[in-house]
Amino acid sequence: MSEHSPTRTPILEATRVDRDFGTVSVLEEVSLTIDSDAVTALIGPNGSGKTTLLRVLAGLLEPTDGTVEFHGAGSVRQIGYLPQQPAFRPGFTVLETLRFYSSLVGETEADALDRLRLVGLEDATERPVEALSGGMTRLVGIAQATIGDPPVVVLDEPGSGLDPGMRRHVFEVATELAADGTAVILSSHDLELVERTADDVVVIEDGQVLETGEPAMLRDRLSVDSLRDVYEVATAGEAGTVRVQGVSP
């Protein structure tokens, strides 16, 4: 169970969640509490189950076992979601794309423009989505994830493919969302940014939660100086080797 601050409100609670794909167990006995008005970062090696956990938390995958409970207030959209590789229907402009999603929750074009301003894409409104770079597509995806002001926003590697400045901006956006009361759950390999931004960190490997808590708490607990050291001490993964669940020892 995550050690969340007593001043924050738990909004999403995963209890003993398992998720199997056939005979491969990707998540095992994962228990987590996600707080509102906080950025919770999932870190872990490639193939550790971060995306699967995010998809379970977002309600896109049913747990094989265990439960995920949402304790939030009534909202037109409970959970916003940015896929790991966002893509949009070609033939539409950025604004048309955002307008489509906005209209599904009763928002207007002005709201869609606000979302684009939030991620710094106000100058790309008329650009076809197929003409966007990977990073810009991800920013449109982040704007999409915030449509409807969901109380929980799940971002799967929001900084991937972005230049350092934009990556920092994306984490700032996550911080702003949390400051407004949104529970932001994201995965990232940028440990420095996570350390600076995240209120809570969840270290995951082989589908199991190894460590969870505030960055400073984790550093103290493992007697190390940085989140990178926390990561290296906590995880058994060897650099250059991807641990494949169900195969690697």
Regarding 76 and contact with other proteins (CB under 8 A), the answer is yes
Main-chain phi, psi angles of 91, to 5 degrees? 95, 0
Neighbours of 242 (CB within 10 A): 12
Regarding 186 and contact with other proteins (CB under 8 A), the answer is no
Inter-residue contact 86 to 137 (CB < 8 Å): yes
Residue in the structure block whose two tokens are 């309600």:
59
Residue in the structure block whose two tokens are 């991937």:
160
Q: Exposed/middle/buried for 142, CB within 10 Å: 0-12, 13-18, 19+?
A: buried
Regarding 161 and contact with other proteins (CB under 8 A), the answer is no
Main-chain phi, psi angles of 108, to 5 degrees? -105, 180
As measured in angstroms, the least distance from the Cβ of 88 to other proteins is 7
Regarding 64 and contact with other proteins (CB under 8 A), the answer is yes
Q: Which is nearer to other proteins, 59 or 120 (CB)?
A: 59
As measured in angstroms, the least distance from the Cβ of 73 to other proteins is 3
Inter-residue contact 50 to 206 (CB < 8 Å): no
Q: Which residues pair with 65 in a beta bridge?
A: 18
Q: Which is nearer to other proteins, 79 or 136 (CB)?
A: 79
Regarding 209 and contact with other proteins (CB under 8 A), the answer is no
Q: Which is nearer to other proteins, 157 or 205 (CB)?
A: 157
Report how far residue 26's alpha carbon sits from residue 249's, in angstroms, rounded to the nearest whole number: 14
Report how far residue 187's alpha carbon sits from residue 157's, in angstroms, rounded to the nearest whole number: 5
As measured in angstroms, the least distance from the Cβ of 76 to other proteins is 5
- Stretch of 67-75, 113-121, 210-218, 222-230 lying at the interface with other proteins (CB under 8 A): 67-75
* Number of residues binding to other proteins, judged by CB under 8 A: 49
- Stretch of 44-52, 93-101, 209-217, 235-243 lying at the interface with other proteins (CB under 8 A): 93-101
- Stretch of 8-16, 119-127, 163-171, 219-227 lying at the interface with other proteins (CB under 8 A): 8-16
As measured in angstroms, the least distance from the Cβ of 50 to other proteins is 16
First to last CA, the chain: 26
Regarding 117 and contact with other proteins (CB under 8 A), the answer is no
Regarding 222 and contact with other proteins (CB under 8 A), the answer is no
Q: Phi-psi region for residue 169, left (φ > 0), alpha (ψ -120 to 50) or beta?
A: alpha
Regarding 19 and contact with other proteins (CB under 8 A), the answer is no
Q: Which is nearer to other proteins, 140 or 204 (CB)?
A: 140
**Dihedral sign (CA 103, 106, 109, 114):** negative
Contact residues for other proteins (CB under 8 A)? 12-13, 16, 55, 57-81, 83, 85-89, 91-92, 96, 100-101, 103-107, 144, 148-150
